[in-house]
Structure 1
Amino acid sequence: MTDTRKRLSQILDTITDGILVVDHQGIVLYANHATERLLEREGIIGQTLAIPITTRNHEPQDINLIRRSGFAWAEMRSEPFDWEGTPAYVIGLRDITARKHTEIALQQSEALFQTLARLAPVGIFKTDLSGRYEYVNKRWREISGAHVADVSDEVWQQALFADDRQRVIQEWQHAILYRTAFSSQFRFQHANGPIRWVIGRAIPEYDKREQLLGYVGTITDITDIKRNEEHLRQAAAVFETTREGVMITDAHCIIQRVNRAFCEITGYSSEETVGQTPKLLRSGRHSHEFYTAMWSEISRSGHWQGEIWNRRKNGEIYPELLSISTVTNQAGEISNYVGVFADITKLKASEKELEFLAHHDPLTKLPNRMLLMSRLQHSLDTVKRKHDNGHQIAVLMLDLDRFKDVNDSFGHNAGDDLLQMVAERLRKRLRESDTICRLGGDEFVILLEELTQPESAARIAEDVINTLSESWTLSSGHEVRIGVSIGIALYPNHGTTAAELVQHADTALYQAKGDGRNCFKYFSEELTLAARERIKTEFHLRQALERGELSLFYQPQFRVTDGKIIGAEALIRWRTADGEMIPPLRFIPIAEETGLITVIGNWVIETTCSQGKEWLNAGLPPLRLAVNLSSKQFLHSDICEVIEKTLAKTGFPAHLLELELTESILMKREKEAIDILNRLHELGVHLAIDDFGTGYSSLAYLKSFPLDVLKIDKSFIEDIPRHSDDMEITATIIAMAKNLRMRVVAEGVESPEQMTFLQKHQCDLYQGYYSSPPLPAAEFAYFYAQHCTDKQA
């Protein structure tokens, strides 16, 4: 080694970086000590190293070296060099292994950060010192809804929900100003509508010198948590405020929790209940089999619902509607049982009341028609099943007589009061085994079972008649008397079904009322035939009105002294399309019951007035025409208005119209009758009382009523002169009427002897077959014209 090289080696050995001299084949010509330390090898001169050598200058490059302990990193520079006349390269090597390891660690850390940021379920962000965003991850953009490339202050602040924006910005600025941590709950409003709840957190980031670098933070989507919290809050509110009792147990039926309604219904506090079992509430009403079946259903379907009786803390037993459901965990195992129940005490009471009202009359509390038919059918089934021919069943149909008078005179409250007293009196007089039913109105039915003789029903009917005929004192203090008509149908003589027995009893009742009321009648086949005939007659009567089958006959009224015709009574007749003449006694009562009488009566009035006006226009002398009024027509329609309009329509003079009423009509509502009669009198019509002597025949009411004419019923005339009693009664009636300044008309005069008697006692008028039967309108006009001609001659 030359001195120059020696000196150069000494100098190069002092350098900390490695120095190599290699020829163009890579053979080491020189290496300093630093190179041997870097490669961890000695005596490398003359060896070939795998080090890249270029023929021109290059920027420094990093290379990886192999040494005994592993790899080493070096920064290499190479330059061409003349090594003692030999072309070579001088290579500088700087050991950068530590730096490289640091760089690799940083790269790995950055890669890990990017991976974690990409996969993180939370949004991650990083800011500078002033809080401006430098980085956000994908999740941050998804949560916030800010999908722009660069996230500025304006972008993220605009993404905030409007109601939260000012508060969150102030909190963020406060954290930056005072370099404190940031934590807040707020909402982001997505551009497409959804609102996301988040928890935002950020902490200051410092370097090794404790210099603030910025802030690193996260946003966590808590929308589902918030929603669940709201659901839980609502569920808790429902749990505590619902009016149904709720009980939650564990899988072993140990009570874990109860709500407020549970405590209110049972009387037990939550402290007294938790830790107990539902057996605490058992009433003792249900058998072991009941609970076994209940839990069997819960095990099978996971649910049971039904009515159950439980016991309150005070010992009271009450009914509840209970629903039990199972709750399972994620493994499908039962974790809880939930019982929800409602106290149905009031509902049960209402059901009981409704059940009672469905089968009972609300006024009298007696069984109604539905319950009657059920009990009657049960009795019939029992008798038929036992083949017991020794006992009979009786159905008694009752209808109160003169009940309507009580209603009309004292009001419906008085009528209801009377019905309740009748029901109570019947209860006391009859056996407990007997069924008393109210059908409605003033109709009652009595069901008598196990009668040994048909006469037993008659004896009970007589007892009922006597009982109800006693006086009644209403709550208003008024004393009234009523009667009762009873129809009786027996099983098996009068029917074998419930419907037949009730129908036949009703038919018998109708017969009892027709026979004078306040009596009883048994059903018979003749009554059934009569009832069917009445139904048929009613049907055809309605058709008769439409077909014009009704007509009026006129019976002349003669003056007793000289036989002159001064009036006529209009009498209705019905000739069917087949030519059959239906007598008034057959269809007038039916018209009364069905309400047709008002329509028919108004037709009679208008037809009579029209006919009278027609005769006047034809030149016949004026004639007073009498028309009968029914009770419904007189009391239940505005008869004054009807008369006034009819007279105006027909032009018939009012003083030539005479309205006839029976005593019973006037006595039904005396005060109202007087008012109506006075109004009719003001119209100018004449008023007559018909069939006098067959009803009340009271002198007091004759004085009160503004009557013009009194008509003696033909039942008193027909036996003159055979019966002296009738003669005396008739003479008395005539004298009484004269004293009251009333004209007297005798009906049904048929013999000279009767005429002689009437003349002797100065009766004013008469009518009857002695002089003329009722005549059709045309025949009457001819008869009247001839009569006037004969009188003038």
Structure 2
Amino acid sequence: MTVDDLPVPALFVCAEHVSSNTQFCSLPEAVQLQISDITQQFNLNSTAFYKTIELRLQQHIYSISLKKSSQAQSTVCCVFNTQASEQRSIDDLVFNHSGEAMMVTDKDDDVIRVNDAFIMLFGYPRERVLFRKPTFLRSGLNQSNTIRAAFRAIKNEGHWSGEIMIRKASGETIHTWQSTSSITHNDEIKGFITIFSDISNHISQRDTFRFLAYHDHLTGLPNRLLLEDRFKQVLKHFKRSQKAEANHLSIVFIDLNQFKELNDQFGHQAGDDALKILADVFQNTLREDDTAARLGGDEFVLLLEHFHTIADIHKLTSRIAKAIAQAAASSDYPQMKINFSYGAAFYPSDGESLDALIETADKKMYKMKNANHG
């Protein structure tokens, strides 16, 4: 049997060969082109062998039956014309003209429809989307747990909303807020409709606010809040560790010497530059597991893991002092001398809380500062 033998408009697609019967050719040309394109995409992209979808074209709803041959890469499409209702006209108007990206998938989760906003947002032409699983939008982004939770919610509650990363056709990834609802008829799921909102700017602003909440605005170093969080994380790691002898932590309190005089002599910009130099040296000198934080003014705290003795601290601060001198010499204020005093406290011998360790280190720092000026 060929498409000419079928009593309804029919189309046959095999590779790049397309043939149709007389009834199909009697359809409006725009309808022929769109149905032909959809059939070819089904033939290329779909893993299913049979699908029935509805399309609204030129004020009519066409029910399209697509059947793929299991032997050859070919598909037969049969077209049935149904009069469109006013409600369907309104639905299609909303879908086609929505400013939000929208996608419809069938009960097998194959994409059967996307609107223009979807194409503009993600950059995929329709022919690269139709009859594919939406997983290609999330390829390589490690969101399987979120997706499984989403499908459970949709199955149980009929709806899910949440944040999903999407990979655009350009390869760029963006943050979206995805709302997916099941489409049901007589309590049977017929498909799913998903609305995507680009929230990348919101995420960027959220990350900025989060950074500002936990970091010093001048130096970019962690502030007291983040220092406290890092301290708690280190203690949790210690508790999980079975090697008590490996659990060493020290707190070093650092305060610039004669910072007020430096500001008075060179100006407040020089004082800010001095603080930034310290921050840069800390970040370039400390190990990845260690933390340098600015408490305020010219006061800094180093949280150091695996430093056992005061001799270890002396070696580190000597390297820091040398690096600071080199950085100051090549700064906008080469005559500026940046010196500091410090004190160290060790966990748990000098205290088991961050406040106790900082207090001990602060007292030792003042002893050093007074000795230098004694």
Question: If the TM-score is normalised by the length of the shorter chain, which range does it land in?
Answer: 0.5 to 0.7
Q: Which residue of 1 aligns with 2:294?
A: 438
Give, in angstroms, the shift of residue 239 of structure 1.
5.3
Whether contact under 8 Å (1:380, 1:497) holds in the other structure is no
Distance 1:276 1:442, change over 3 A: same
Give, in angstroms, the shift of residue 489 of structure 1.
1.5
Alignment of 1:89-104 (within 5 A): none
Give, in angstroms, the shift of residue 437 of structure 1.
1.6
Q: Which residue of 1 aligns with 2:129?
A: 273
Structure 1: how far apart are the matches of 2:109 and 2:283? 54
Structure 2: how far apart are the matches of 1:286 and 1:425? 36
Structure 2: how far apart are the matches of 1:289 and 1:441? 45
Give unmatched runs, 5+ long, in structure 1. 1-224, 520-793
Residue 372 in structure 1 maps to residue 227 in structure 2: yes
Once the two structures are superposed, residues 718-774 of structure 1 have per-residue CA deviations (whole angstroms, 9 ceiling, x without a partner) of xxxxxxxxxxxxxxxxxxxxxxxxxxxxxxxxxxxxxxxxxxxxxxxxxxxxxxxxx
Structure 1: how far apart are the matches of 2:247 and 2:181? 57
Give, in angstroms, the shift of residue 280 of structure 1.
4.5
Residue 413 in structure 1 maps to residue 283 in structure 2: no
Give, in angstroms, the shift of residue 399 of structure 1.
0.8
Whether contact under 8 Å (2:95, 2:102) holds in the other structure is no
Distance 1:419 1:268, change over 3 A: same
Residue 360 in structure 1 maps to residue 215 in structure 2: yes
Alignment of 1:279-428 (within 5 A): 279-286=135-142, 291-329=147-185, 331-383=186-238, 385-386=241-242, 388-389=244-245, 392-428=248-284
Whether contact under 8 Å (1:391, 1:453) holds in the other structure is no
Residue 504 in structure 1 maps to residue 354 in structure 2: no
Structure 2: how far apart are the matches of 1:509 and 1:477? 27
Once the two structures are superposed, residues 587-610 of structure 1 have per-residue CA deviations (whole angstroms, 9 ceiling, x without a partner) of xxxxxxxxxxxxxxxxxxxxxxxx
Distance 1:491 1:261, change over 3 A: same
Structure 1: how far apart are the matches of 2:276 and 2:317? 19
Structure 1: how far apart are the matches of 2:245 and 2:187? 69
Distance 1:471 1:357, change over 3 A: closer
1:278 maps to a residue whose letter is P
Structure 1: how far apart are the matches of 2:128 and 2:324? 62
Whether contact under 8 Å (1:308, 1:320) holds in the other structure is yes
1:378 maps to a residue whose letter is Q
Q: Which residue of 2 aligns with 1:262?
A: 118
Whether contact under 8 Å (1:401, 1:485) holds in the other structure is yes
Residue 240 in structure 1 maps to residue 97 in structure 2: yes
Greater CA drift, 261-270 or 358-367: 358-367
Higher relative contact order (CA 8 A, sep 6+): 2
Whether contact under 8 Å (2:180, 2:194) holds in the other structure is yes
Q: Secondary structure at the match of 1:451?
A: coil
Q: Which residue of 1 aligns with 2:335?
A: 479
Q: Which residue of 2 aligns with 1:610?
A: none
Structure 2: how far apart are the matches of 1:391 and 1:336? 56
Once the two structures are superposed, residues 346-404 of structure 1 have per-residue CA deviations (whole angstroms, 9 ceiling, x without a partner) of 44444444443333223222222222222223334444554624664221111111222
Structure 1: how far apart are the matches of 2:203 and 2:226? 21
Structure 2: how far apart are the matches of 1:490 and 1:318? 45
Whether contact under 8 Å (1:465, 1:485) holds in the other structure is no
Distance 1:332 1:468, change over 3 A: closer
Instruction: Flag the structure with larger Rg.
Output: 1
Once the two structures are superposed, residues 171-204 of structure 1 have per-residue CA deviations (whole angstroms, 9 ceiling, x without a partner) of xxxxxxxxxxxxxxxxxxxxxxxxxxxxxxxxxx
Distance 1:477 1:454, change over 3 A: closer
Alignment of 1:171-182 (within 5 A): none
Q: Which residue of 1 aligns with 2:312?
A: 456
Give, in angstroms, the shift of residue 451 of structure 1.
2.3
Aligned residues: 289
Give unmatched runs, 5+ long, in structure 2. 1-84
Q: Secondary structure at the match of 2:345?
A: strand
RMSD: 3.4
Moved over 6 A (4+): none
Q: Secondary structure at the match of 2:244?
A: coil
Distance 1:438 1:344, change over 3 A: same
Whether contact under 8 Å (1:392, 1:453) holds in the other structure is no
Distance 1:472 1:314, change over 3 A: closer
Distance 1:432 1:279, change over 3 A: closer
Alignment of 1:431-580 (within 5 A): 431-465=287-321, 467-468=323-324, 472-473=328-329, 475-477=331-333, 479-517=335-373
Structure 2: how far apart are the matches of 1:287 and 1:482? 49
1:397 maps to a residue whose letter is F
1:505 maps to a residue whose letter is A
Once the two structures are superposed, residues 19-64 of structure 1 have per-residue CA deviations (whole angstroms, 9 ceiling, x without a partner) of xxxxxxxxxxxxxxxxxxxxxxxxxxxxxxxxxxxxxxxxxxxxxx
Q: Secondary structure at the match of 1:480?
A: coil
Give, in angstroms, the shift of residue 282 of structure 1.
4.0
Whether contact under 8 Å (1:391, 1:452) holds in the other structure is no
Q: Secondary structure at the match of 1:265?
A: helix
Give, in angstroms, the shift of residue 459 of structure 1.
3.5
Identity %: 33
Q: Secondary structure at the match of 2:97?
A: helix
Distance 1:292 1:421, change over 3 A: closer
Give, in angstroms, the shift of residue 474 of structure 1.
7.1
Give, in angstroms, the shift of residue 516 of structure 1.
3.3
Structure 1: how far apart are the matches of 2:126 and 2:337? 66
Give, in angstroms, the shift of residue 315 of structure 1.
3.5
Give, in angstroms, the shift of residue 498 of structure 1.
1.7
